[in-house]
Amino acid sequence: MSDLTALTLARALDGLKAREFSSVEITTAHIAAIEAARPLNAFVLETPDKALAMAAASDERIASGSAGVLDGAPLGIKDLFCTKGVRSTAGSRILGEFMPAYESTVTANLWRDGAVMLGKLNMDEFAMGSSNETSAFGPVINPWRSRIANQALTPGGSSGGSASAVAADLVLGATATDTGGSIRQPAAFTGTVGIKPTYGRCSRWGVVAFASSLDQAGPLAKTVRDCAILLRSMSGHDAKDSTSLPEAVPDFPAFVGASVRGLRIGVPREYRVDGMPAEIEALWSRGMDWLRDAGCEIVDVSLPHTRYALPAYYIIAPAEASSNLARYDGMRYGLRVDGPTLNDVYELTRAQGFGEEVKRRVLIGAYVLSAGYYDAYYLKALKVRRRIADDFTQAFEKIDALLTPTVPSAAFGLGERSADPVSMYLNDIFTVTVNLAGLPAINVPGGLDENGLPLGLQLIGRALDEGTIFSLAEVLEQAAAFTAKPGRWW
């Protein structure tokens, strides 16, 4: 085949099974693509030798008829996932050259099924960011360019490296995590598909923690079917994670292409925000038409506490972060900056090891958890979170899924919003509610804006109903017929 990197994951797996090409061949093609695409800064660590060894082992299994469902497929791994014997940094200086002695459950599941690791993908530091500009390894650059300007654009965050690598055909798919939109927003900015599954669907064991009650792993890929294939392997109950759900893993790819006739799709009026670009509103309307054409009924619904979601999220997430990041003290692993006293070691290590956004969120979190402010901020935010979850519960009594925009704008320029944290946080306005409620949601590319940049639609489903989301997402994917690719400038 002429361009193995242009294949979808599903097509590549079919080709590997049919022996049209070998895993070593497709892995070699991706390694070359990664080397040529270093200007994107999507990878913080390339592992070509490991990838080729894994590919050769896959070829042996394929030849012997003992291949797994992902055997031979080269993937990228977000650097938030611990990988045994391979440097894992969470995009931060404070972890230094940390080499885990264990494998995260999600990546272990992928290797069990035969996937090949191409390397570790860049990300916002500790997954805190919406533009992939907080990484200690520098920003990731979106492979897309505006038609009217040649400026470097954000791929979104925190899973910017994952999204950029998929969009640029450097990997067949990638792992990612979503705490407030960190899978769906980068997918929308790069014209890719990304699903945040139900909280607890994928184990968090071995994933560096940001906000434990919100973090959830999921896949980024080129198509809805590819995401379904990856999520099937990534999911499953894990006794090592107390929040992992003891639920059987459905055959997610079987839902792709299933009829959606008769499903009721809610359109929340609160998602029509002031200042939203007309082209996003127009895409939303087209999405409703596409689902109507497939036999769905569009229903107007209300999620009245939506406007409180961002403030609640930016209290709860930093509070949990301040607790989780207290373990980085320079004592056991990672960066250590010596000082005359123990407190000095703590202070100097954290001052040099953490970036500005992480420090900002840790300080906010420590503040809202402090005596005198716990009830006024953190406890109140938890009550708001409960109300938001109740809004969804009530809505799902009369609908099967929700359709919304994924983000309030197309990708913006690097540095454009970094001086205004509030403006940056507003990127998550359509996505954080899903994390607060623990629900599954997916981004599907819907079209291009007037400057030739991708825009996405979001589908939100009931807890543990990723299957319906995949069925609806495939309808949108087919109707949108999104085949645009970024022009190669790197």
Ramachandran area for residue 472 (φ above 0: left; ψ -120 to 50: alpha; else beta):
alpha
- Establish whether 383 is a catalytic residue: no
Ramachandran area for residue 303 (φ above 0: left; ψ -120 to 50: alpha; else beta):
beta
Q: Is the pTM of this model over 0.95?
A: yes
pLDDT recorded at residue 91: 98
> Do 174 and 127 contact (CB within 8 A), yes or no?
no
Q: How far apart are CA 382 and CA 424, in angstroms?
A: 23
Q: What is the pLDDT along the chain (490 residues), one digit of tens a residue?
A: 459 999 999 999 999 999 999 999 999 999 999 999 999 999 999 999 999 999 999 999 999 999 999 999 999 999 999 999 999 999 999 999 999 999 999 999 999 999 999 999 999 999 999 999 999 999 999 999 999 989 999 999 999 999 999 999 999 999 999 999 999 999 999 999 999 999 999 999 999 999 999 999 999 999 999 999 999 999 999 999 999 999 999 999 999 999 999 999 999 999 998 888 899 999 999 999 999 999 999 999 999 999 999 999 999 999 999 999 999 999 988 999 999 999 999 999 999 999 999 999 999 999 999 999 999 999 999 999 999 999 999 999 999 999 999 999 999 999 998 777 777 877 888 999 999 999 999 999 999 999 999 999 999 999 999 999 999 999 999 999 999 999 999 9
Give the CA distances from residue 70 to residues 103, 159, 234, 324, in Å, rounded to whole numbers and listed in that order: 18, 22, 11, 33
Q: How far apart are CA 330 and CA 338, in angstroms?
A: 9
Question: Interior CA angle at 18 toward 17 and 20, to 5°?
Answer: 110
CATH number of 1-490: 3.90.1300.10
Count the neighbouring beta carbons within 10 Å of the beta carbon of residue 428. 25
Q: How far apart are CA 134 and CA 161, in angstroms?
A: 12
pLDDT recorded at residue 1: 45
pLDDT recorded at residue 2: 56
- Establish whether 359 is a catalytic residue: no
Sign of the torsion formed by the C-alpha atoms of 260, 265, 271 and 274: positive
> Do 359 and 322 contact (CB within 8 A), yes or no?
no
3-class DSSP assignment, residue 43: strand
pLDDT recorded at residue 274: 80
pLDDT recorded at residue 176: 98
- Establish whether 78 is a catalytic residue: yes
Instruction: Out of 92, 158, 164, 418, pick the active-site residue.
Output: 158
> Do 102 and 198 contact (CB within 8 A), yes or no?
no
Q: Domain extents for the chain?
A: 1-490
